[in-house]
Amino acid sequence: MVMKQPEVTERTRKRMCRAFWHLYAKQPLDRITVKQIAELAGYNRATFYQYYSGVRDLLDQEEDRLIAERHQAMNDRIIDMRGTDDIRINLTLFLEQTRKDAPYIALLIGPNGDRKFIDKLRDVASPLIRPIIAGNDSDNTQPTGKTGEYLTEFYLGGMLTMMRAWLADPDPMPLAQMVELVIDTFMPGVTAE
């Protein structure tokens, strides 16, 4: 078997992914076929199957890539989450990375989105939420048990809904303004330092 050059492999994957995203922007996932993706990318089905086991596999790999980028951005630059400015900086980092991938994220969290991706995104965003909940608690301690779980879901749901609207807006508010809106809405005790 002849090994393909890495550049060819990468170019083929990118074309398949572009074709997939183009189709996903126009129709629900369950209506997208391997044949559609391959033809739009300029390949045949056999070429598609050299890289993916099916449409869902392609989507899963793309979701994993997007989540990994968020993890990497946070891990590379995350700082202590205890201070007010730390929360602001980390929220800005998260939203910057999200805005870079806005066309994809908007589809995945939009009306025809993927619940699995939303759950993965929630896992990435959870470390941002815990200090917010603790900061809004009167004795500044993290609520535990069911109370902590429900509050985390409440905050994550609200933030994801705001993010969905922000990404879908053809004229979105600037990043700094969005960060301040989230802080003002979800962290009334946080002030500029």
Q: Is the same domain home to 160 and 116?
A: yes
| Range 57-71 burial, b when 16+ CB lie within 10 A, else e | ebbbebbeebeeebe
State if pTM tops 0.85.
Answer: no
Does 193 have pLDDT greater than 50? no
Does 180 have pLDDT greater than 50? yes
Does 108 have pLDDT greater than 50? yes
Alpha helical stretches, state H, 25-144: 34-41, 45-51, 55-77, 84-100, 102-109, 115-136
Does 16 have pLDDT greater than 90? yes
| Residues spanned by the domain of 22 | 1-52
Q: Is the same domain home to 96 and 125?
A: yes
Cα dist. 87→76, 77, 153, 166 in Å?
15, 12, 18, 20
CB 78 within 8 A of CB 93: yes
| pLDDT value at residue 12 | 95
End position of a domain, from candidates 52, 67, 91: 52
Question: Residue 193 domain-assigned?
Answer: no
Q: Answer with the residue of higher pLDDT: 102 or 185.
A: 102
- Which among 16, 9, 101, 15 is positioned nearest to 55, based on CA atoms? 16
Question: Residue 152 domain-assigned?
Answer: yes
| pLDDT value at residue 191 | 54
Q: Answer with the residue of higher pLDDT: 16 or 181.
A: 16
